[in-house]
Each structure stands twice: as structure tokens, then as C-alpha cells.
Amino acid sequence: MGKSISGFIILFVHTFLLISAIRASTDTLTPGQSIRDGDLLVSADGSFELGFFSPGISKGRYLGIWYQKISAGTVVWVANRETPLNDSSGALIVTDQGILILLNSSKDAIWSSNASRTAQNPVMKLLDSGNLVVKDINDNSENFLWQSFDYPGDTLLPGMKWGRNMVTGLDRYLSSWKSSNDPAQGEFTFRIDPRGNTQMLLMRGPKILYRTGTWNGYRWTGTPQLEPNMLYTYGFISTATEMYYKFDLINSSVASRIVMNSSGAAQRFTWITRTNSWARFSAVLLYQCDDYALCGAYGSCNVNKQPVCACLEGFIPKSPKDWSIQEWSDGCVRRTKLDCDKGDRFLQHGGVKLPDMIKSWVDTSKGLKECKDLCLKNCSCVAYANSDIRGGGSGCLLWFDELIDTRELTTGGQDLYIRIAASELYNIEKNRSSDKKQLGIIVGTIITIVGVLVLAFILYARRKKLKKQANMKTSHLQNYEDEDQRKEDMELPTFDLSTIANATDNFSSRNKLGEGGFGSVYKGTLIEGQEVAVKRLSKNSGQGLTEFKNEVILIAKLQHRNLVKLLGCCIEGDERILIYEYMPNKSLDYFIFDKKTRNSSDWRIWINIVGGIARGLLYLHQDSRLRIIHRDLKAANVLLDNGMNPKISDFGLARTFGGDQTEANTNKIVGTYGYMSPEYAVDGFFSVKSDVFSFGVLVLEIVSGKKNRGFNHPDHHHNLLGHAWRLWNEGMPLELINEPEQDSCTLSEIIRCIHVGLLCVQKRPEDRPNMSSVIVMLSSGISLPQPKQPGFFTERNLPERESSSSNQKSFSTNEITVSFLGPR
């Protein structure tokens, strides 16, 4: 970094400098002054610094801007990215016309800015935002002659416009560096694409790798992770002259930036003061489904399904053979041809990322009804949707080409209406719902003047045909399964049942560690002496062998220091056994609710445990390529290693149990009383936010040393959540803990934990933060919003289903996981 080279030494090396040099701690350069290698320009509040540097192992010298107060060395902008200086003889000057020029030792301009107008008294200034501007010294407006924010490199800073000015033709986009040693423009770009309806495209050369989808008023249709948070505000501005995305920090002392690295990964980082490092806040291209057009035309991608690709309803694989070996690029075709003259229908798909917009058409003045009519009238229109989903929806989007890159989202998706043959719609509706009335209406519109007898006959014939189709489907599946077994490429070690039986002394009760809804856990010792935890799954998963194997392989790929490691499995006959690493310190509930261990433990340990669980959960929710919702996070499912580091166990199991549970709404509820969010326990609706709720309960339990369920207090009938909320509102959050004699530094962290815990257990899922926000909230000093009322804060709100859980045997102090059919 240029900073490390002393400016004085360089001063002697230079021979050609006639004009006076600038010294550090000024933010302005005027005509007649210069900045030479070794000099630094620092913004008024010290946030950013401008100077010369050499990236990585490069010997070239570049003029750039980097963070100064924090993270010195994180470069955010480079002037001469294509033309490095060979030596440290460069100098930056500003001309009387307000042009910036970078000169090499023979005084040739190797880089320069430009300006469309001149000013009386131009100066160059480095602003606290990191923007390098040329302006008139007397003009304090944002009317700059030139600004570096108009020419971004790989980094988007707060306040930068990411997009286009249609009048000047200026296109501000991110472009990757060639490598970490070379800031020249690399292969990857991430930019606004104005074709059809505007969206952002991440490209490698001319090839699209990822698209965000169009702006729907709240966010890009494919970025459900973009939601109001404590760190920054954001928006997409589209006028007749400009269209751009921009974000602004809520608290300017908490830094955040988006950067696209030289392998094309676009990520948002946030500076964490406590650890003195950048933490990844969000990213694109994390999931397989982010890959552009993965499932081909009329396909739809779902990260929670295996395989991830499926045809949209009413469509079938174009080449079933390719499709069965997971080669999806050919996509799907209509099962039934459209018949525009006789009248087609539209099938509603809820919760999707809208398909590619490059050949779409938009009219923001039209409503959904007019939109449908417009689409129906034009035989080449294949789908329609609202362009803005705020306030019940408005605007009209029409598609005139194959539907590409549709994706199903667990949260934040929107409705898409796909044109489909009338007879096809009839089939699908019949499958989807057995509502006789609805069926009657649909059938009635197809066959208008046909008598009741004919109707009945048709119904009968259809059912027969459907049955046949269903049979065909099963035989196809069977073929697939056979093929899969032949491949038999399990990357996960498999164990013989006899080995496991030996290791656990034939599953003896002496070796039993616990029991939960998915089965019993035993301690085992393999012949080599390695200790393992053996989970013998109960025999009610109702899942096929291949499916189970696929799931286990997927789970085994999830690796994170805060997740228990899966070592192998054993599948023999009816037996399905998972072998995990053994955790000598048992589970968290054993520690937090035990008076003795509590009193002898340092608070640091508890705070570290909270942070570790948060990171493990974030990995499951966001950072792994599978999006896993744990659904049974509780103290008993967090194990502790020798160093008291928490490791989440039983993740991914809810996924493997019961086919319908990958839907966002399930009628089989798996979870534990006291940890279940209201929307999940009552309506069976789950999302990452239900895990956030459980996490909040766990945090409050860790801090207080009390169980949420079964909590009682002489003054009221609230459970732990209600108690914590009451204390919070009374301004006495520290009353929640037993051991208040802490130093003030730890106390503020404990209060922060309580605050975050209360935000996580808020009643409405949309009020709860997601896990990436939780991590930022726990580890930085940003101000947090006031928590609203928690869900289930009195015991009485709980569905009284005690009987269904007390039937099962309980071992150790674990609370049992319950499985029951929830109310529908």
C-alpha cells in the first residue's frame, strides 16, 4: 500500500516536480498543486483516503481511494486501472479548466478525467462519502464538473447511483478486477439492463450468469433477501431521464459496500468493529437456482426440491431423457397446444421470481384485469403479471417469448399468470382441488350446452385417463431409481449395521444419549476408538431409498464450524442410521439451566455461544447452496465441543421427513413447544423467520438461564418471552439475568443480546430480522429499533396438546420434539 512508503524518501527521488506538493490531512487539491506518490489526501472526517498504491503482488502503481478510519487498505476506486505507472514518479494535477490529469515521469498524461463544462475556480475534493469530485470552489451544490461516483470500478458505495442517465448516455456499472493484483477491467460486469422491463444482469462477457429480475416496488423480484434492515435504506429510481439503484447508510459510522470480486461473486460486506473485519451480509449466485436459465424454457427452479428443476404446471420436459439425468437446458414444452381462437386460459403461479424480462413489455398505468385482457387479445402473449406489487398490485407486464429463469421462492415471491390451453387448465384445476363447485364452473365454460349426463361421462373418462397417466409416472420414476442405484456414487461413507451395532453395544440403553421426534441417539465407539453419536431414525419417514440417500448426501455437504459434522450413514433393510461426530460436552440445555455450571461460567462464553448459533443458522439459511430451515432449533439441539463452541445438530432432518414439508405450508408440524413461532404452531406456515423466532427464544433462555416453557413468576402469568418484554418496557432488562455483577462492557453486550432476542420473537414474521441482520446487530454498535409485542407471550396462547408429547419417552433433560397434525 502506498501509505507504507514514506513520502519523504520519494520526494528526493523526484526531479521533475516544479509545482508544490500537497501534504496529508487536507481534502482539497487546487490548480498549481499536485499529489505525488507517497502523498495522501484525506476526506474531512477521515473516512477515506486518496493516494498511490500497488495491489497484491503487483509492482505497478495506481492512484486510488480506500477506507482510512477502518480497514485501511480496502480499495474502493482506482483511477488509472488500465494504465499502471511503472515507478513511483506519478503525479496528479488539476488544470485551470477543472480536468484531472495523472502524469508519468516524462510528463505524459496516462489517465485523465473530463468535464462537459468549465468553472471559474475549479478544485478537486475528496468527500466523506468516498466520492472524488471536481467542482467550483464557491459552488456548494452537488453540481459537480466531474465525480468518481460516475465511473465505478468493482465497488458500490453508499450514495452511488448504479444505473443509467438516458440523456448523457452515462452507464454506471460494476466491473470486476482482472485479479486481486490487477485492477484492470476483468470479465465480469453487473449492470442495469434496460431492454424490456429494467433488471440488473451479472454477466461474464456477453453471457448472462444471473439476473435480479425487475423492480416490483419493494425489491428486485428475485432478491427476497433485500428487505428493510437496520443498516441501510435502498431504492430503485426510474424517471424519464434516469434509472438507477442506490443505497444509503442509516448510521454513517457503520460501513457497508457491495463489491464484485475477480471471480464474479457480488457480495455485500459490512464492517464489524468488534472483530475488525468485513462480514458478508448478503450475496448473489449462492444457490444453484441463481444460475441464469438453469431449468430452460418453461422450467422452474426450487432450491428446496430435489432435483431443483421442474416444468411449470401444464408443461412437460422437451427431452425426458436429458431431464432424467438432470440436464435441463432444453427446458419444457406445452403438454397441450394453445388454441388462441377458441380462447385460452391463464394459470396462476404464486410465490415466484418473475421470468426473464428481456422480451417483455410493461405499462404501469394498467391494472391486472386490463393486463389479462391485453394478453388474451394477442396470440403471442404467453404470460402476464403486475409490475408493482405494493398496495395489492398495479401495472402490467406482458411476456411474448418463452418463459426463462422462473424460480420458486419461499418468501417474497409474486404472482405470475401463464397462458395455457383451456383443456389443460381444466386438468390442472381438477388435480389441484376437489372443490366440486369450482370444477363445475370450469367444466361448464368448456362445454356450455351439454347435458348433465354427458358431463358425468366426461368426468369419468378423464379420471380414467388421469389414472393411466399416474401409472406411467410411477414406472418412469422406477426406471430413474434403478439407474441411480447403478451409479451408486455416494460420497458419504457408509457403515455396516453390524459395525454400528458393535459400536453401540447393540443399541443398549446404557449408551442412549437421548431421544427426539426423529429417533434415538446413542453413543458409540468404533473399533479404531473413535467416539461417535449414532442417530437411529424412527421408521416413519415415508420416504423412498433414493430420496433419502440424496438428502443425506446433501446434508453431509453442509459444513460449518457451528454445525455438527455428519460422518456417515447406514442403510440396511428398514434401518436408517446417521453417524455424527461425538460432542463430549453434551447439549446446551444441560448447561444453561443448570445452576452450578451457570455460576462457574464466564459471560463471554454465553455471548460466544449466541454468536456461534447465529452464524450456524445464517449458514443454513443463506450461505449454503441449499436453503435449510431447521424448524426445531432448541437448547437440546445445540451441542458443545471441548472449547464450548456451539454446534447445531439435527439440521436438514425436517427436510428428509415427509414429502410435503418442503412447501411453505405444511399440515405436519415438527417442532418443540416453547420454541415454535405462532404462525407455525397455529397455521403450519414456516419460513426462515420461524427459525429466527426459535433463535430469539434460545437467546433469552441463554441469558436468563430459564426455560421459556414452564416459566412462572409470582407477579404475572406470562412465559419467559412475556416476562422479558415486560422488564424491557419497564426499563429493567438486566433483571432478566441472575448474575448481574458484570463489568459494564459485558453488560452492554448482554443488553444487546436481550434486545436482539426480543426483536427475533416479535409476533409478526415480517417484523423479525433475518439472520444476516441479527449477526450485524449482535456484533456492531448500530442502533436497534424498539421491539414490538412477542408472539405467544402467555402460556395460555399455546395450543394445549400436552397429550401428544407426553406419550413419548423422555431421556435426559431434553425436551422432546413433537410431531402432530396441526389444525388446518
Annotated binding site for ATP: 535
CA of 331: how far to CAs of 206, 310, 364, 470, in Å? 22, 9, 30, 22
Binding residue (CB under 6 A) for ligand NAG from 6, 15, 106, 786: 106
Q: Which residues are annotated as a binding site?
A: 535
Residue 470: CB atoms within 10 Å = 10
Question: Taking contact as CB under 6 A, which single stretch among the options 210-218, 249-257, 531-539, 648-656 is the one that binds ligand NAG?
Answer: 249-257
Q: Among the residues of 280-367, which ranges form H helices?
A: 320-324
Interaction with ligand NAG in 356-375: which residues (CB under 6 A)?
Answer: 361
Closest distance between ligand NAG and the C-beta of residue 564, in Å?
Answer: 24
**Closer to ligand NAG at the Cβ: 108 or 730?**
108
Closest distance between ligand NAG and the C-beta of residue 261, in Å?
Answer: 4
The helix or strand, by DSSP H or E, that contains position 698, with its residue range, turns out to be helix 688-704
Closest distance between ligand NAG and the C-beta of residue 374, in Å?
Answer: 9
Taking residues 259 to 298 in sequence order and writing x for each that binds ligand NAG by CB under 6 A, - otherwise, the string is --xxx-x---------------------------------
Interaction with ligand NAG in 694-723: which residues (CB under 6 A)?
Answer: none
Question: Taking contact as CB under 6 A, which single stretch among the options 253-261, 558-566, 680-688, 795-803 is the one that binds ligand NAG?
Answer: 253-261
Closest distance between ligand NAG and the C-beta of residue 228, in Å?
Answer: 16
**How many residues does the structure list for the chain?**
824
Closest distance between ligand NAG and the C-beta of residue 259, in Å?
Answer: 9
Position 141 contacts ligand NAG (CB under 6 A): no
- The C-alpha cell at 816 is 422432546
Measured distance CA(347)–CA(352) in Å, rounded: 13
Structural contact between residues 524 and 500, judged by C-beta atoms closer than 8 angstroms: yes
Measured at CB, which residue is nearest to ligand NAG?
781
> What is the DSSP code (8-state) at residue 479?
H
Pairing, β 299-301 against β 406-408: parallel
Q: In this structure, what are the phi and psi dihedrals at residue 597, rounded to the nearest 5 degrees?
A: -65, -35
Residue 179: CB atoms within 10 Å = 16
With contacts defined by CB under 6 A, how many residues of the chain interact with ligand NAG?
A: 26
Measured distance CA(414)–CA(349) in Å, rounded: 8
Measured distance CA(678)–CA(762) in Å, rounded: 10
Question: Taking contact as CB under 6 A, which single stretch among the options 11-19, 99-107, 572-580, 638-646 is the one that binds ligand NAG?
Answer: 99-107
Distance of CA 353 to the CA centre of its chain: 14
Taking residues 387 to 426 in sequence order and writing x for each that binds ligand NAG by CB under 6 A, - otherwise, the string is -------------x--------------------------
Position 110 contacts ligand NAG (CB under 6 A): yes
Q: What's at 309, amino acid-wise? A: C
Closest distance between ligand NAG and the C-beta of residue 254, in Å?
Answer: 6
- The C-alpha cell at 660 is 410435503
Strand ranges across the sheet with 34-36: 34-36, 91-94, 100-103, 109-112
**Closer to ligand NAG at the Cβ: 263 or 810?**
263
Structural contact between residues 353 and 409, judged by C-beta atoms closer than 8 angstroms: yes
Within 149-297, strands assigned E span: 155-156, 162-165, 174-179, 182-193, 199-204, 207-214, 232-238, 242-249, 256-260, 266-272, 277-283
Say whether 356 is catalytic.
Answer: no
Position 85 contacts ligand NAG (CB under 6 A): yes
Q: Which of 632, 650, 660, 683 is catalytic?
A: 632
Interaction with ligand NAG in 726-785: which residues (CB under 6 A)?
Answer: 780-783
Closest distance between ligand NAG and the C-beta of residue 170, in Å?
Answer: 8
- The C-alpha cell at 10 is 520519494
Binding residue (CB under 6 A) for ligand NAG from 26, 105, 329, 789: 105
- The C-alpha cell at 476 is 418412469
**Closer to ligand NAG at the Cβ: 150 or 641?**
150
Binding residue (CB under 6 A) for ligand NAG from 143, 277, 364, 378: 378
Structural contact between residues 176 and 186, judged by C-beta atoms closer than 8 angstroms: yes
Closest distance between ligand NAG and the C-beta of residue 378, in Å?
Answer: 4
Residue 460 half-sphere exposure, CB side, CA atoms within 13 Å? Answer: 6
Binding residue (CB under 6 A) for ligand NAG from 63, 76, 254, 720: 254
Position 118 contacts ligand NAG (CB under 6 A): no
Q: Which residues are catalytic?
A: 632
Which residues make up the interface to ligand NAG (CB under 6 A)?
A: 83, 85-86, 104-106, 108, 110, 114, 116, 180, 251, 253-254, 261-263, 265, 361, 378, 380, 400, 780-783
